[in-house]
Amino acid sequence: MNSEMPSSPVEWARRVNRSWIVRGQLADHAESWLDHLAALNDDRLEASATAAKAMCGLRQRQDDPKPWFYAGLFHLATADEAARFLASHRVTKAVTPSMENDEDVRLWIDRVGPETVELLDRLRAAIRSLPPHSESRDRPRGD
């Protein structure tokens, strides 16, 4: 991440997302997610980008920043949105609050190793520490 500072959290998130090599087209899905939020214009775009940056700051120095970034970026996704944008991205989907009680997510978590469970727990705790977003409090989580 170079010294050139983007003018907004959204520009920062787009730039960081484009700079990483990730599996399963996660960068493409994240870009589509940002475009989706921009089209909705429901105040989640900037909140999601801000959360992505905050999550990167909450990780431990030795942690890969990618799971932290994407957890923050998608933390306001509804269950329907998570199913659409995160279908093949199990870690991010598993820590998205609207997916907490999803049966497929729970089954997957039951099959992963202790290191993954520990990462999921840390990501969830960090998400819970983020400031609440008014839009997410006013909307049902399963939309």
Residue 137 lies in a domain: no
Residue 42 lies in a domain: yes
- CA 107, 141, 103: angle at the middle one, nearest 5? 10
Q: How many CB atoms lie within 10 A of CB 125?
A: 11
Residue 26 in domain: yes
- Residue 119 inside a domain? The answer is yes
pLDDT at residue 54 greater than cutoff 80: yes
Average pLDDT score over the chain: 90
Q: Is residue 140 part of a domain?
A: no
Domain that holds residue 90: 9-131
Does 142 map to a domain? no
Structural domain count of the chain: 1
Residue 110 lies in a domain: yes
What is the pTM for the complete model shown? 0.88
For residue 67, the model assigns a pLDDT of 97
Q: How far is it, in rounded angstroms, from Cα 30 to Cα 85?
A: 7
4 — alpha (psi -120 to 50), left (phi > 0) or beta?
Answer: beta
Take residue 33 and report the two structure tokens written for it: 């997610």
62-108 per-position pLDDT tens digit: 999 999 999 999 999 999 999 999 999 999 999 999 999 999 999 99
User: What is the predicted pLDDT for the residue at 136?
Assistant: 42
| Residue 85 within a domain | yes
